[in-house]
A = this chain, B = another copy of it.
Amino acid sequence: MTEPAPKGRPAATRAHRPPTIHDVAREAGVSRGTVSRVLQGGHHVSPAALEAVNAAIRRTGYVVNRHARSLVMQRSDSVAFLLTEPQELFFEDPNFNVLLRGCTRALAEHDIPLLLMIAGNEPERRRITRYIAGGHVGGVLLVSSHSGNPMVERLTEAEVPVVACGKPLGQRTRVAYVAADDREGARDMVRHLRAAGRRRIGTVTGPQDTPGGVERLAGYRETLAELGLPYDEQLVAEGDYTRSGGEAATARLLAQAPDLDAVFVASDLMADGALTALQRAGRRTPEDVAVGGFDDSPIAPSTRPPLTTIRQPWDRISDEMVRLLLARISGEDPAAVILPTELVVRDSA
């Protein structure tokens, strides 16, 4: 007694409907309400009923219909990974990959799907704001380091739980975030450089409207003072977290302070550019000029020479971002989590 297939039926329509809560209820000899209670954690359910339902679920291969659930619960079970950096950075910087990978994994462990959203321009930002504010997403993992990002405020206004990667700068509202201890990491690197006998230590900073840009420079300054080394503006150049930006900044440094014997570069990608600039200038690394990076990104082991750097604990950062977001979603107040970094010594310093 098979029904004739309707003409032009879309490929997406399944021939046989997957089992519903109704099938499970019948199979287990209980009501749909009881099945639902089991699904919600099994509270207020007798052991016998619980067992019967679980067995029925197994037999039928039941999987909850998330659309139905989201509809009645008035919220989505998915999480957005929202990237608001310019797209070249996303292409170039392996850190984004690592973070995206880590968050996908951490969410998968909670069986939560990740929606990738990239907001490169204002129309995109508006579209995405509308989508998220429409309640299609349970929470947002926000990657946007530059100060004054309009998305932070818009999402907060829409009452969507948000956790940022890195402390959002220039925001009036308090937002939960996870960050590595940038300042302490910078201090470790400068101490390492000094311990290796360097005295004229320059730095290529990140953009000064990003937390990493500000904090790593602060750590550099503090440690210089602590070590009794003078702070010299000629020894500081600002980069933009790109490889070519790092190369250019290092070239400026070399022109301003030809006698430098070490440079702390605020990201590995920029440090790779610094290596190129030094080679171009005929300086050997590390013999003439030692180079220290930041991130321990996937490129660090394969630069020439391999990069001494500060490891950001990306897996832990991902885990904590997801943990904080789930906490926010279930009503907890925002919190900040700062994770320790680690010096990784290779050949460049």
Residues of B within 8 A of A68 (CB): 67, 71
Query: Which residues of chain A from 10 to 26 have a CB within 8 Å of any chain B CB?
Result: 10-15, 17-18
Known: A104-B116, A298-B92. A11 touches B63 (CB 8 A): no
Q: Separation in Å of the A191 CB from the closest CB of chain B?
A: 30
A107-115, A181-189, A195-203: which one contacts chain B? A107-115
Kindly specify which of A47-55, A130-138, A145-153, A254-262 makes contact with the partner chain: A130-138
Which of B9, B92, B118, B302 sits near A105, CB closer than 8 Å?
B118
A239 at interface by CB-CB < 8 Å: no
User: How far apart sit A71 and B70, CA to CA, in the bound complex (Å)?
Assistant: 10
Q: Is A76 an interface residue (CB 8 A)?
A: yes
Closest residue of chain B to A160 (Cβ to Cβ) is B12
B114→A116 contact, CB < 8 A: yes
B159 touches A11 (CB 8 A): yes
- Copies of this chain, tallied across the complex: 2
Q: A117–B105 Cα gap in the complex (Å)?
A: 9
Given A10-B329, A161-B11: A117 and B101 within 8 A (CB)? no
Cβ–Cβ < 8 Å partners of A159 in chain B: 11-12, 14-15
Contacts of A337 in B (CB 8 A): none
Q: By the criterion CB–CB under 8 Å, are A135 and B14 in contact? A: yes
Complex CA–CA separation, A139 to B12 (angstroms): 8
Task: Say yes or no for A346: interface residue by CB 8 A criterion.
Answer: no
Contact pick for A63, options B87, B101, B134, B302, CB 8 Å: B134
Chain B residues with CB under 8 Å of A94's CB are: 91-92
Q: Residue of B at shortest CB range from A159?
A: B14
- Residue with the highest number of chain B CB atoms closer than 10 Å, among A8, A127, A243, A331: A331
CA distance A11 to B135 in the complex (A): 12
Tell me, rounded to whole Å, the shortest Cβ–Cβ distance linking A128 to chain B: 8
Question: Is A291 part of the binding interface, using a Cβ–Cβ cutoff of 8 Å?
Answer: no
Instruction: State whether A8 touches B331 (Cβ < 8 A).
Output: yes
**Contact (Cβ within 8 A) B11 A329:** yes
Contact between chains at B118 and A115 (CB < 8 Å): no
B12 touches A91 (CB 8 A): no
Contacts of A15 in B (CB 8 A): 159
- What 5 new A-B contacts, CB under 8 Å, besides A65-B134, A91-B101? A10-B331, A13-B75, A91-B94, A105-B118, A113-B136
8 shortest interchain CB distances as A-B pairs: A67-B70, A67-B71, A63-B134, A12-B75, A10-B331, A67-B67, A91-B298, A116-B116
